[in-house]
Amino acid sequence: MVRTTEVEALRSKLSGAVITEDDPGYDTARVLWNGVFDRHPAVVACCRSAADVAEALAFGQATGLEIAVRGGGHSFAGASGVDDGLVIHLGGMSDVDVDPRTRRARVGGGATWAEVDAAAQAHGLAVTGGVISHTGVGGLTLGGGMGWLANRHGLSIDNVESAEVVLPNGRVVRASAQEHPDLFWALLGGGGNFGVVTEFEFRLHPVGPEVQFALFFWEAERGTEALRACRDLIPAMPADLGMIVGGALSAPPAPFVPEQHHGRIGHAFLVVGFGTPDEHARAVAPVREACPPLFELLTPMPYTEVQQLFDDNYPFGTLAYDKALALPELTDDAIAVIVERAPQKRSSVTFMPIFVLHGAVAAVGPDDTAYGGLRRPHFVVDTAASSADPEEFAADRAWVRSTWDLLRPLAPDAGGYLNFLSDPGDEERVRATYGAAKYERLARIKAAYDPGNLLHRNANIKPA
């Protein structure tokens, strides 16, 4: 138990609020995106500055409380909260300062991608940032950061210029290629293992404000034909397109979907382009020709709207679980698993987003960053269960696990994506994702910056 005097001492040092279960706003402060986790921390420290974070870290160590760091609270694994411990809440550090001249953005560690998108798009700029806009910048970036812009401009980590970090000992440093380069390298894919990032500096790129969007949908009965057609066409399509193959996708009740197909399980191909409507139409025309879809949508769309396409399906409180793996190729065997398993899901929002990664992602060397994913053309298959109904969710969570087991023999040992890891305590999987050499390098850096493994509520790298 934390004594009242200790809490009051922390309150006197922080510029932000310190909240316990007796305070108004406690339930709001502790809520997480994934409704599977109903965490009840002893203390929530709402930090507004790096100095606040340093004080909170010192408080956690002095009281012996387990520490969780919350940016957007969007962790699949519930790592943003902790029972009976301390949550360092960064939500008050969400400023986004864009310099259109240098095409740089300074982004608070508690910002969401919606806030980054809005500020950057005011100047016709953007940076790779996920596919659900209420995701936090910090967690997504530290794990790698896939999104619609990845093939054009690289992962989120490939666009980080520097980061302000509060180390477990309370020291505040700026990490970049020139300052603390070992720490900077580790932050680029090594997760929240090394310190609390209170500010990112991103390089921005001209994007939008309008981009081109295409969606093709095929019924489950033609899944094999459709997925093979997508796979075979992708290498010949422009390398900068944002592409997701939607396995086991339920047709949405949208105006462009014929009413008789609402809720129908099938497979889709979503493509975002950055040229003119005519250029995009030509780029995706071979898809239609190779396998005529059941229905399609081809339209210009604001970039910010593309970033929010999945938001309504995955609100705060949804029950969620996923397991992902990287496939160097979308083989016939992998397609057979996806097609066979698709009709067995239950929730309309459970599906298998298959991220097509090549282009700028593959242009970065495998050891240039700590990222554990592949740096060659490949597919990240995320089997993701989501529902508001506990019984339906339980069934689909079992579906995720069994589907992943069937796909696992088709994937290499290394090359996962730790942001899609609902079981962060799976140490073997974490090690396999990074590979032995990269994991050992990260473990040495962990020992230098967090020798006591204070920050361990993550895909944890143990200090060497």
Q: What is the pLDDT of residues 205-220, one digit of tens each?
A: 999 999 999 999 999 9
Domain 210-420: give its CATH code. 3.40.462.20
Q: Which tens digit of pLDDT belongs to each residue from 275-326? A: 999 999 999 999 999 999 999 999 999 999 999 999 999 999 999 999 999 9
Q: What is the DSSP string of 63-113?
A: HT--EEEESSS--TT-TT--TTSEEEE-TT---EEEETTTTEEEEETT-BH
pLDDT at 426: 76
Q: Which tens digit of pLDDT belongs to each residue from 344-390? A: 999 999 999 999 999 999 999 999 999 999 999 999 999 999 999 99
Q: What is the DSSP string of 417-450?
A: -GGGBS-TT-HHHHHHHH-HHHHHHHHHHHHHH-
Give me Rg for the CA atoms of the chain. 22
User: How high is the mean pLDDT of the chain?
Assistant: 96
Q: Is residue 415 predicted with pLDDT exceeding 70? A: no
pLDDT at 414: 60
Residue 403: HSE in the Cβ half-sphere, 13 Å Cα cutoff: 33
Domain spans, the chain: 4-89, 96-207+440-449, 210-420
Q: What are the Cα distances from residue 358, in Å, to 20, 148, 153, 202, 332?
A: 46, 12, 11, 21, 20
Domain 96-207+440-449, architecture per CATH: 2-Layer Sandwich (3.30)
Q: Which tens digit of pLDDT belongs to each residue from 40-56? A: 999 999 999 999 999 99
- Give the residue-averaged pLDDT of 144-172: 98
Fold of 4-89: 3.30.43
Q: Say if residue 450 is exposed, middle or buried (CB neighbours under 10 Å; 0-12, 13-18, 19+).
A: buried
